A = this chain, B = another copy of it.
Amino acid sequence: MTTPKISRYPVPKLEELPDDIRARILEVQEKAGFIPNVFLTLAHRPDEFRAFFAYHDALMLKEGGLTKAEREMIVVATSGANDCVYCVVAHGAILRVYAKDPLVADQVATNYRKADITPRQKVMLEFALKVALHSAELVDADFDKLRAHGFSDEDIWDIGAITAFFALSNRMANLITMRPNDEFYLLGRMPKK
């Protein structure tokens, strides 16, 4: 059996990569136990790679009113709406880990309205999906609804910006047929005790 391709495009070898990119990738591998394919496949274009992960980190690693699990919920819900296999599978795994909940990712990827999340989180995802699918229709009332559920204006920027970043990310993954690593499918699926 052959190993399936992880991208339509050439995938660079680690040793061919610029030092900073290779260092970043080795750090992830150290932490995760494997190299998520998004790193290897996007490394085909080093400058875009650097900007992509700088953007990712600015949104996903920063302090703020949203928990890490909530950020991943936004990723999973909007990636589901964009039918992006890589992001649904990979960020579904990360969501399960952060939320310590083996069920929530498949629910949110399919239909957040039926997920085991709070009403506040449902309002957050309703907004995110509007940004993902109909951003031109955003009006003041959409912001008011989030504020009524306790989101600050900076939280709302976070929700919108994470959605916007994964609008990019989903399109790149769909463009190059980025393949999720097999490891992601099982990660975080062991039930809570």
Contact = CB atoms under 8 A, between A and B. Distances in A.
A169 to B, nearest CB: 8
Within the oligomer, what is the number of copies of this chain? Answer: 6
Contacts of A115: 85
A160 to B, nearest CB: 4
B131 A113 contact: no
Interface residues of A, number: 67
A176 interface: yes
Interface in A145-193: 153, 157, 160-161, 163-165, 167-172, 174-177, 179, 182, 185-186, 189-191
A103 B58 contact: no
B175 A161 contact: yes
A9 B185 contact: no
Contact of A111 (B59, B85, B143, B191): B85
Given A110-B83, A189-B185, A58 B54 contact: no
A89 B106 contact: yes
Q: Among A52, A92, A111, A153, which residue has the most Cβ atoms of chain B within 10 A?
A: A111
A143 B176 CA distance: 11
Top 9 closest A-B pairs, CB basis?
Answer: A83-B136, A51-B55, A164-B171, A135-B174, A47-B58, A160-B175, A51-B54, A168-B168, A167-B167
12 contacts: A51-B55, A52-B55, A55-B55, A83-B111, A84-B110, A88-B110, A111-B136, A135-B170, A136-B174, A157-B175, A164-B169, A164-B171
Given A83-B110, A135-B171, 12 more contacts: A45-B161, A47-B57, A51-B52, A51-B55, A85-B106, A85-B107, A114-B174, A114-B177, A132-B171, A160-B175, A164-B168, A186-B189
